[in-house]
A = this chain, B = another copy of it.
Amino acid sequence: MLAIDPSCFPSSDLAEQLDPSRSAFAGSSTISVLPATRQHVAPTFCWTALEKSVAYDQKHQFPRFATPVPPVTQNAVGSKGPTAMVFLNMGGPSHTDEVHSFLSRLFADADLIPLGPLQNYLGPFIAKRRTPKIQKQYAEIGGGSPIRKWSEYQSAEMCKLLDKMSPETAPHKPYVAFRYADPLTEEMYNRLLADGFGNGKGGRAVAFTQYPQYSCSTTGSSINELWKWRQRLEGKATSGTIQWSVIDRWPAHPGLVETFAKNIEEKLAEYPEERRKQAMLMFSAHSLPMTVVNRGDPYPAEVAATVYAVMQRLNFSNPYRLCWQSQVGPQPWLGPQTSTSVEEYVKKGQTDMVLIPIAFTSDHIETLYELDKEIIGESGHPDTIKRVESLNGNPTFIKALADLAKSHLDSGVSCSLQMGLRCPGCKSERCAESKKFFAGPEKAFAV
């Protein structure tokens, strides 16, 4: 299997990269054979899990976009509403016949998978080659990814809460922008413009990453894509453009921590009381290639912060470890690996184990297929090795999203200081330009 090393975005052709009207990937010069084919590749669709999770809230039925927002009339830099709340995520194929286009976009993303000058040729080749295998995995878990429906549900529900919590910025209008599946960033941006934002009328929009922990491969890629389309669609306007700010990370938000903790407690309650305290908690996050870790990507430390915060909330009730899943290919990735760790614990007699996907908020192929079918299904102990529910439509989680958004709207900051700081080993001029745009000159560091 051919896979690719998602190391730094190369800058061999700065002019080309900085011109968002041309292919930002054509200037890449790095090429290496590697692994990232399953890196955050594939949110999935499983009706059983879905129906179970939303049983408490059937009436909402995954509401789509609300009614169109009224035209924006306030001053471009005003803080009043309407406010666009744009959920960023990778997205996933809703049906197996969308797998190929999804993979094609994924292998075209040089922030995730730099293929060098051959990106435009190699990307489609690899995508085509992998499509049947990934289609089969989606077919096994229900036929597609639930991430669009969850994202639209979560953003709409959050906006309803926000309208009450923050009337001064209401109405809040939910949008979703995916990196590799519909609705793409371009579609979202055109919809914003059509809804009355920008076009000389200004208006406020918040890019809200749905990855709690920041990685250049995930949130960074989405932010760079948003910057690209903003430059293409509003770059030449001199005034009245959309005022953007970013919620770029929230690894230890109390509401997020509370949701994880409650889900863990519910899962632990399924063990007989006398065994409950001896069950081991196995936190699992998508791994990163060591090239990305060693470049200074903040993700591993932020995932660890989430884990520690959850364990503090649980009063360290159980032994635990943080492991990393979905490593593929021959190059080194961050470990320990979730799959081998589960095997090793089973060999040592530790068969009461709770798996906790800690770095993704909706179900996806890494939970429904990799954890449930591969790791648990093939462990020999599917009754005592369990997985906690993903956050999906959990009302505590959606309240957490609203709290986060409310704090951000009140703060007036454009993004975190962390987002303004490039990684020490970053070579991507696109990253530098994107940071300068979103963070502003005072808060962009090492650019």
Interface positions of A (Cβ within 8 A of B) = 251-252, 278, 280, 290, 293-296, 298, 300-302, 304-305, 307-309, 312, 316-323, 332, 334-337, 340-342, 344-345, 348-350, 416-418, 420-425, 442, 445-447
Q: Is the CB of B308 within 8 A of A252?
A: yes
Q: Are A445 and B336 in contact (CB under 8 A)?
A: no
Q: How far is the CA of A249 from the CA of B236 in the complex (A)?
A: 56
Chain B residue with minimal CB distance to A318?
A: B417
A363 CB to nearest chain B CB (Å): 24
Closest to A439 in B: B319
Closest CB in chain B relative to A333 CB, distance in Å? 9
Please tell me if the beta carbons of A421 and B319 are within 8 angstroms of each other in the complex: yes
Interchain CB contact under 8 A, B304 and A300: yes
A280-B445, A290-B290, A447-B348 given; A424·B336 CB < 8 A: yes
25 contacts across the A-B interface (CB closer than 8 A): A252-B308, A280-B421, A290-B290, A290-B335, A293-B334, A293-B335, A294-B335, A294-B336, A296-B323, A301-B304, A304-B304, A305-B307, A305-B308, A316-B418, A317-B417, A319-B420, A319-B421, A321-B424, A332-B332, A340-B424, A344-B424, A345-B424, A345-B446, A348-B422, A350-B446
Q: A322: which of B278, B301, B337, B350 is its contact (CB, 8 Å)?
A: B301
Most chain B beta-carbon neighbours within 10 Å: one of A332, A335, A447: A335
Docked CA distance A425–B416 (Å): 37
Given contacts A294-B335, A304-B308, A305-B305, 18 further A-B contacts (CB under 8 A): A278-B445, A290-B335, A293-B335, A294-B336, A296-B321, A296-B336, A298-B321, A300-B300, A302-B304, A305-B307, A317-B417, A319-B420, A320-B418, A332-B332, A341-B424, A342-B424, A348-B422, A349-B446
The smallest beta-carbon distance between A370 and chain B, in angstroms, is 17
A290 in contact with B332 (CB, 8 Å): yes
**Protomer copies:** 2
Out of B308, B332, B442, B445, name the residue touching A251 (CB < 8 Å). B308
**Residues A341 and B425 in contact, CB atoms below 8 Å apart:** yes
- Least CB distance, A31 to chain B, in whole angstroms: 21
The CA-CA distance from A251 to B312 in the complex, in Å, is: 12
Distance in Å from the Cβ of A201 to the closest Cβ of chain B? 33
What is the chain B residue whose CB lies nearest that of A342?
A: B424
- A339 CB, min distance to chain B CBs, angstroms: 10
Residues of chain B with a CB closer than 8 A to A312's CB: 252
Q: Which chain B residues lie closer than 8 Å to A442 at the CB level?
A: 278
CA distance A298 to B281 in the complex (A): 13
- Closest chain B residue to A301, Cβ basis: B304
Q: Using Cβ atoms and an 8 Å threshold, which residues of chain B touch A295?
A: 336
Given contacts A345-B424, A422-B348, A446-B349, contact A417 B316 (CB under 8 A): yes
Task: Write the chain B residue with the least CB distance to A424.
Answer: B341
Shortest CB–CB separation between residue A352 and chain B, in angstroms? 9
- What 9 A-B pairs come out closest when comparing CB atoms? A294-B335, A304-B304, A341-B424, A305-B308, A301-B304, A319-B421, A348-B446, A350-B446, A296-B336
CB neighbours (8 Å) of A332 from chain B are 290, 332
User: Which residues from chain B contact A316 at a C-beta distance below 8 Å?
Assistant: 416-418
Which residues from chain B contact A318 at a C-beta distance below 8 Å? 417
Q: Which residues from B are CB-within-8-Å of A422? A: 348
Q: Is the CB of A425 within 8 A of B304?
A: no
Which B residues touch A424, using CB under 8 A?
321, 323, 336, 340-342, 344-345
Bound together, the chains give a CA A350 to CA B447 distance in angstroms of: 9
Distance, CA A298 to CA B316, complexed state (A): 14
Tell me which of B290, B319, B345 contacts A418 (CB under 8 A).
Answer: B319
Taken together as a complex, chains A and B put the C-alpha atoms of A312 and B249 apart, in Å, by 13
Cα(A372)–Cα(B301), bound, Å: 25
Bound Cα distance A417, B320 (Å): 8
Q: How far is the CB of A301 from chain B (nearest CB, A)?
A: 4
Complex interface: chain B residues within 8 A of A344 (CB): 424-425
Complex Cα distance, B302 from A241, in Å, reads 44
